[in-house]
Amino acid sequence: MWPDFLTGQPGQPVRVVLIDDDAHMRRVISQELLGDLRTNLLGQASNMKDGRRLISQHEFDVMLVDLNLGDGTGFDLIEYMKAVHPMAEAVVISAMEDEQHALRAFELGATGYLVKNSWFGNFSQAVLQVVNGGASITPNLARRLLSKFEHVQRGDQIPHKGRDKDRLSEREKEVLRLVASGYTSAEIGSRLTISAQTVNAHIKNIYSKLQVHTRAQAVSFAALRGLF
């Protein structure tokens, strides 16, 4: 059962655009999205030029985008999308399963990174997760990112300044750890026995202290500086 208070209902589905140069992948993704009443695929493109046109012509909630597009990169489209539709979510779909590409996407404002041919559930679930405040990351990649964060926290890679670590309260660090694991505000509230509104207030404070604008940017910033 899909709770009626979450975004993505049969009568008001999440609007999605898909940009990928792999025709087979587009068919797979479109079949999943069109087969779920909670999602509505508005349009598809196979290259950056058509992708930019798709972004400019539609009002949508989530963009699914590949990184390699022949005439450009998905990074360029994420930047363009954030300029045109700053409230929309971007989820990367890529064959490249490395931390640097994922972190770059998150820094640009993406809230998901799915590796092609890897298990992560399905594309409808990924879309619904990010539009409801969560993050969607292929489990194997998420595990490697968390491992990287642990190394940073131990000081194995990038040193951090003491005053950076003092920016966040212990509760804010708890919230940020759960955000990094992909939990929604409601799920974080349930785990910490606080309301979703309180969680959102903590997240707002985190944004202000770290001077970021998205959950993904907050996680990337904090991880690289060992703030949690």
Highest mean pLDDT among 96-100, 111-115, 137-141: 111-115
Tens digits of residue pLDDT in 43-78: 999 999 999 999 999 999 999 999 999 898 999 999
DSSP 161-183: -HHHHTTS-HHHHHHHHHHHTT-
- b/e per residue, 97-133, with b = 16+ CB within 10 A? beeebbbbbbbbbbbbbbbeeeebeebbebbbbbbbb
- What is d(CA 228, CA 165) in angstroms, rounded to the nearest whole number? 8
Taking residue 25's Cβ as centre, other Cβ atoms within 10 Å add up to 18
Highest mean pLDDT among 21-30, 139-148, 162-171: 21-30
Tens digits of residue pLDDT in 101-137: 888 888 888 888 998 877 667 899 899 988 888 878 8
Residue 216's pLDDT band, with cuts at 50, 70 and 90, is: confident
CB 94 within 8 A of CB 82: no
